[in-house]
Amino acid sequence: MFMTHLECSLTGERYDSDRPQNLSRVGKPLLARYDLAAVKRALTADILAARYSGMSKWRELLPLPLGAELISLGEPETPLVALDATGRRHGARAPLVKDEGRLPTGSFKARGLGVAVSMARHFGVTRIAMPTNGNAGAALAAYGARAGIETIVICPAETPAINITETAAYGAKVYVADGQIDECGALVGKGAAEGRWFDFSTLKEPYRIEGKKVMGLELAEQLGWQLPDAIFYPTGGGTGLIGMWKAFDELEAIGLIGPERPRMFAIQAEGCAPIVRAFEAGEEFATRWDGAATMATGIRVPRAVGDFLILRAVRDSGGSAIAVPEAMIGEAVRDAAHDDGFLLCPEGGAVLAGWRIALDRGLIGKQERVLLFNCANGNKYPLVDTSRRINLAEVEAGAL
């Protein structure tokens, strides 16, 4: 076991990691800290290369005590897929997509919740609640079922039906509320304060980010320990962006990469862009985005408790935060499917559109090595039906 303690991400105050924890005293996320000198002795590139791929490959950099079981649904190492035709369309080097849609429950929420639920079970937690726009609820419910933990999920009314029914299929108690995700989160917080359940809201417990961190560890190894020039990430709560940024620091500390970092691009939809607004205004924290609306439900997050961590990573990396017009999202999904046979989820469409905008604005060079995140399987979302009705008699008469 290499985790030593937890640390407040704002004040640096130290917290024990031997019992369940939520936010720090000042209401900010706690981050897991490790004895990285010991990890460095235990983990080399050769040892990693000899291991089976998957989440537990990275166990020295995960919070679970050695011997405690990582609850798994067979998470694969997700592939990097080159969008060659998309690259040609823009006269640019083909962007690589890290396709997180291959994970159990069809989204990368499986990474974070697999690790967080494993820790909750290790601590003997028996009931967990969270607010969700969809994918997180399904992943919580699936890993909760596997761990024998009761799960309660509260969704905004606009949550796609497929997420609601999938979550319920794993036996979670699902409630649909007439508000935004942060309002559902307030209900979860109230129940947690009354001792009715453990609060699993994004970044309100410290271990989901550790699971998401594996995206950064994995991509570094997949690229031969040479990080890309830029990473485009669909940013809601920002767990994955913050987690990858943390992963790179840990990889440097254990000697697997140097001080170079990708430029981090936080992509949001124009209908919900609190991080972009704060980035452009030079603010350290973001204010709530009222009336949030976008088809990319995974990034419809009006307020992020880790806002300052997202903004810091984006700024320290020399990257940017970009708001994508809604119409460009569906267009990007369609283009990638037609051009490259790759069905992005809407959040992935936003990311591809964000790359297009960055190319236009000169924020990215055409020959740079770029990595785009597709965080869910495109089949989980309603698609436009463009089929035509025919009747068979006409077909026989040669109508096709």
Ligand X SMILES: *Cc1c(COP(=O)(O)O)cnc(C)c1O
Contact call for residue 208 and ligand X (CB under 6 A) = no
Nearer to ligand X, 237 or 354 (CB): 237
- Residue 118's contacts (CB-CB under 8 Å, 6 or more residues apart) are 64, 68, 69, 70, 71, 143, 147, 207
The residue among 52, 47, 8, 50 whose CA lies nearest residue 27 is 8
Which one of 289, 349, 376, 378 is in contact with ligand X (CB under 6 A)? 376
Distance of CA 195 to the CA centre of its chain: 28
> Residue 93 Cβ, how far from ligand X at the closest point, in Å?
24
> Residue 347 Cβ, how far from ligand X at the closest point, in Å?
3
Which one of 109, 246, 300, 356 is in contact with ligand X (CB under 6 A)? 109
Cα angle for residues 219, 222, 225 (degrees, 5° grid) = 85
Taking the CA of residue 315 as centre, how many other CA atoms within 13 Å lie in the half-sphere pointing to its CB?
16
Contact call for residue 319 and ligand X (CB under 6 A) = no
The CA distance from 296 to 321, in Å, is 16
Two tokens, residue 45: 């590139």
The residue among 191, 16, 208, 188 whose CA lies nearest residue 119 is 208
> Residue 350 Cβ, how far from ligand X at the closest point, in Å?
8
Nearer to ligand X, 215 or 256 (CB): 215
Which one of 251, 309, 345, 371 is in contact with ligand X (CB under 6 A)? 345
Which one of 137, 240, 349, 354 is in contact with ligand X (CB under 6 A)? 240
> Residue 298 Cβ, how far from ligand X at the closest point, in Å?
3
Nearer to ligand X, 109 or 122 (CB): 109
User: Residues in the chain, how many?
Assistant: 400
Nearer to ligand X, 144 or 160 (CB): 160
158-197 footprint of ligand X as x/- string (CB under 6 A): ----------------------------------------
Q: How many CB atoms lie within 10 A of CB 15?
A: 17
Of the chain, the end-to-end C-alpha distance in Å amounts to 65
What does the binding site for ligand X look like in residue numbers (CB under 6 A)?
Answer: 107, 109, 135-136, 202, 234-240, 298-299, 345, 347, 375-376
